[in-house]
Structure 1
Amino acid sequence: MSAADLARLQFAATTGIHWLFVILTMGLVPLVAILHTRAAFTRDPAERAARERMTRFWGQLYVINYAVGIVTGLVMEFQFGLSWSGLSKFAGNVFGAPLALETLIAFFAESTFLGMWIFGWGRLRRGVHVTLIWLVALTAYASAYWILVANGFMQHPVGYEVRDGQAYLTDFGALLTNPSALLALAHVTLAALTTGGVFVAGISAVHCLRGAKERDLFRGSLRLGVWVATLASFFVIIVGDLQFPLLDRTQPRKLAALEDGGAPWHLWLRISMDTMTIIGNTVSTITLVAVLLLWKDWLVRWRPLAYLMAAMIPFPFIASAGGWAFREVGRQPWLVYGELRVDDALSPVGTASLAVSCALFIALFVALAAVNWTLLVRFARRGPEATQLGATEPLPDDLPEGGSGDAPGGGTDEKHPVPVF
């Protein structure tokens, strides 16, 4: 393999694995926020405690995925300097700001709000605590917006001019409203919600088969997951179709490649597109049937369909990977479409060095992905009883007057004596 092939393989593999963390993070956090909101504003203490247990259960799975995934995110931006210094030299003046803002939001704002939410159980008022998880969700999608602004420039460069071989920003508004970025954000948002909905529905369906107590706890999250997945999977197909007129104007060769044979990467586009389309339609159909079968709990009573919901959890991830490949491979041979070719952006790094770094990075990312899914499966199987999030004993000065969690306006979890203010 050439140096360019190794650099492309390294970036494709690490970005693809990182994206699997991102799409679950984006899809799961709004559902956790919804569950927490419902729990916080439930008046009945027993029902509120049960809903808080469910919030902590799903919140713990979200935190695991976020914590492991953020490690993979740390490596991504370093690769611009390691392997693609030509891209930074040509376009750094344009998308350097969006990338910096994405880093600030993801690694500072989002992480700060999430940390406060994690350690705020039993120590913050309900309204403040709920606000924090919504801020986590908002910053997660803001982070996605800024990274897509940078990627949108690479797909369809706007608001710039080239001077002395470098691109300079001339219209910040055009960069922010690039249709290639905005349509991609809508598509990614709906794909993430589909992923999160299927993830929640699949795990909930299995737990609903495990006795009356588990059924009562997971019935609400099952309904939420199925409804979110149904609506999001329907609209993600519509938004996906809306991108074809844009591609016809900005990247006509990508659409032409879908119809042509010839080079291997024409073939890759077709496989990626078909994978995304077939899985998307399958998920949309199954979740629509699942919504209908929510009536009188037929979704849970018919055990094969309940297990089918669990077996469907990997489908949105595979479809999303196909969509990412279609978006990126179809831009070849351009790194910045029409302006900078891939070979011209490659750093002056030896083939041996790239081979070593490629092998190490891919091995590390595969290991992290394996650790992540092992932890998710383990804690998902254990259920709410084994949830550690929010189970920390409150500090003495966190308790209401009198040192008891049953003061007026408060409440305690039946297992973990954490006061609810």
Structure 2
Amino acid sequence: MSTLSLARSLFALTAGTHFLFVALTLGLATLVAIMQTRAVFGDSAVHFRMVRFWGQLYVINYAVGIVTGLLMEFQFGLNWPGLTDHARDVFGAPLAMETLVAFFIESTFLGLWIFGWDRLNRYAHLTLIWVVTLTAYASAYFILVANGFLKNPVGYVRFGGELRVDSAGTLFTNPAALLPLGHITAGAFLTAGFFMAGVSAWHLRRSEEPEFYRRSLRIGLISVVVAIVPSAVFGGVQFGFIRETVGAQPATGLAVATMMFAWAWMFVVAVMALVKLPFTAWLMRGRIFLRVVMMTLPVPYVAMLAGWIYRESGRQPWLIYGVLRTEDAVRPIGHGAMIAVFAGVTTLFAVLVVVNIALLRRYARGGPDGSALGRPEPAARPEPVPSF
């Protein structure tokens, strides 16, 4: 592989992997916030337990996803200096807003939420998780603004050899950013919904905590039912923009076929869920259905990744469509150095993915009583009084 191909492959692997973390984080944060709202205003003990259990899984995925995101962004300066040289202002502005506004606010308030259990008023604690959720969507939006500019460059003017922001309103209302935001939001709900439903189905098949996991299963399946049609609608309206840059590359056709098949599978499961949801006993005793739900857990990930490949691969040979070619933006370093970077970064990403799966699997199987999130600290033992 050439240096350019290695650099493209490395960014594709890292960005695609990070995107999968984002999908679960975005959807699960919303569902946890909804559960905590129900717990606070309904004074529901079981919902508080659900917040602790699903919240811990969310925190694990978020923490590992942060590391993958930081490593991915390092590549802009490491491998793609041409992008920052030519479009520093236009491309960098939304990324800076994502980092300074969304990321730091989200991380700060998440830390307060994690360590604020039993220390803050329940309404203040609830506010924290909603701030975390809303800033997560803001973060996704700013990233999509930067990405949308690469596909549909608008709101800029040339100044010498650089691109400068000419219309911030045009840049931040780019259809290539707004339409994917709706599609990714729906996809995030599908990912989190099937994640909750799949884990709950696994426990229900073992007759563990039936009340707890019945409620969790319902929330997950309701999320799937609500999101399945919007995901297709927002995906469909993007084809007009994407067709302008999609060439005859084999990856795009395969990605579309994979995406369509995955959506069709999820749609069938969503219809089954819609029929069974009103009947609690039927939902609980449907062991074949529970197994199907478990099998569907990875399908949203496949659909999201296929959609991302379809959206991104068709832009080539342009990094900024019609403005900057990919070959003109890559760092001209030696082939051996690029191989070393590729091997090192992909190995690290593989380790992070394995660690995340192992931790999610461990704590998901452990059940709500194994959650450390929000667990009261053990009372300190009194110091022994010396006897004389």
- TM-score for both structures, normalised by structure 1: 0.87
1:312 equivalent in alignment to 2:293: no
1:33 equivalent in alignment to 2:52: no
Q: In the TM superposition, what whole-angstrom CA distance separates every residue of 1:250-284 from its partner, at most 9, and x where no partner exists?
A: x2x41xx4xx5xxxxx2100011111111012102
TM-fit CA distance, 1:395: 8.6
Structure 1 residues 237 and 61: CA distance shift in structure 2, 3 A: same
Question: Contact 2:103/2:135 (CA < 8 Å) preserved in 1?
Answer: no
CA–CA separation in structure 1 for the residues paired with 2:11 and 2:361: 28
Partner of 2:117: 121
Q: In the TM superposition, what whole-angstrom CA distance separates every residue of 1:186-213 from its partner, at most 9, and x where no partner exists?
A: 11111111101111111112222333x6
Q: In the TM superposition, what whole-angstrom CA distance separates every residue of 1:57-103 from its partner, at most 9, and x where no partner exists?
A: 00000000011111111112211111000011111111211101111
TM-fit CA distance, 1:126: 1.1
Between the two proteins, the alignment pairs up a number of residues equal to 379
CA–CA separation in structure 1 for the residues paired with 2:237 and 2:193: 23
TM-fit CA distance, 1:3: 0.7
CA–CA separation in structure 2 for the residues paired with 1:350 and 1:42: 62
Code of the aligned partner of 2:221: V
The partner residue of 2:274 within 281, 287, 291 is 291
1:166 equivalent in alignment to 2:149: no
Partner of 1:219: 214
Q: What is the correspondence of 1:17-416 to structure 2 with a 5 Å cutoff?
A: 17-43=17-43, 48-211=44-207, 214-248=209-243, 251=244, 253-254=245-246, 257=247, 266-294=249-277, 295-393=279-377
Code of the aligned partner of 1:380: A
Question: Contact 2:81/2:331 (CA < 8 Å) preserved in 1?
Answer: yes
CA–CA separation in structure 2 for the residues paired with 1:92 and 1:299: 54
Unaligned runs of 5+ in 2: 381-388
Structure 1 residues 291 and 297: CA distance shift in structure 2, 3 A: farther
Code of the aligned partner of 2:164: Y
Identity %: 50
CA–CA separation in structure 1 for the residues paired with 2:102 and 2:10: 23
Q: In the TM superposition, what whole-angstrom CA distance separates every residue of 1:8-60 from its partner, at most 9, and x where no partner exists?
A: 111111111111111110111000001111111124xxxx2222111100000
CA–CA separation in structure 2 for the residues paired with 1:320 and 1:105: 26
Code of the aligned partner of 2:42: T
SS in 1 for 2:120: coil
CA–CA separation in structure 1 for the residues paired with 2:118 and 2:276: 37
CA–CA separation in structure 1 for the residues paired with 2:379 and 2:324: 57
Partner of 1:401: none
Structure 1 residues 42 and 394: CA distance shift in structure 2, 3 A: farther
CA–CA separation in structure 2 for the residues paired with 1:205 and 1:287: 15
Q: In the TM superposition, what whole-angstrom CA distance separates every residue of 1:133-179 from its partner, at most 9, and x where no partner exists?
A: 01110010100000000000000000111232211110000000000
Code of the aligned partner of 1:271: L
Question: Contact 1:186/1:239 (CA < 8 Å) preserved in 2?
Answer: yes
Code of the aligned partner of 1:74: L
Structure 1 residues 394 and 167: CA distance shift in structure 2, 3 A: farther
Partner of 2:384: none
Code of the aligned partner of 2:237: L
CA–CA separation in structure 2 for the residues paired with 1:92 and 1:297: 58
TM-fit CA distance, 1:108: 1.1
CA–CA separation in structure 2 for the residues paired with 1:301 and 1:52: 26
SS in 1 for 2:118: coil
- TM-score for both structures, normalised by structure 2: 0.95
CA–CA separation in structure 2 for the residues paired with 1:26 and 1:101: 18
Q: Which moved more, 1:81-90 or 1:281-290?
A: 281-290
Structure 1 residues 366 and 181: CA distance shift in structure 2, 3 A: same
SS in 2 for 1:41: helix
Question: Contact 1:208/1:216 (CA < 8 Å) preserved in 2?
Answer: no
Code of the aligned partner of 1:83: N
Code of the aligned partner of 1:219: R
CA–CA separation in structure 2 for the residues paired with 1:300 and 1:316: 23
SS in 2 for 1:122: coil
SS in 2 for 1:210: coil
Question: Contact 1:122/1:394 (CA < 8 Å) preserved in 2?
Answer: no
CA–CA separation in structure 1 for the residues paired with 2:240 and 2:342: 36
Code of the aligned partner of 1:291: L
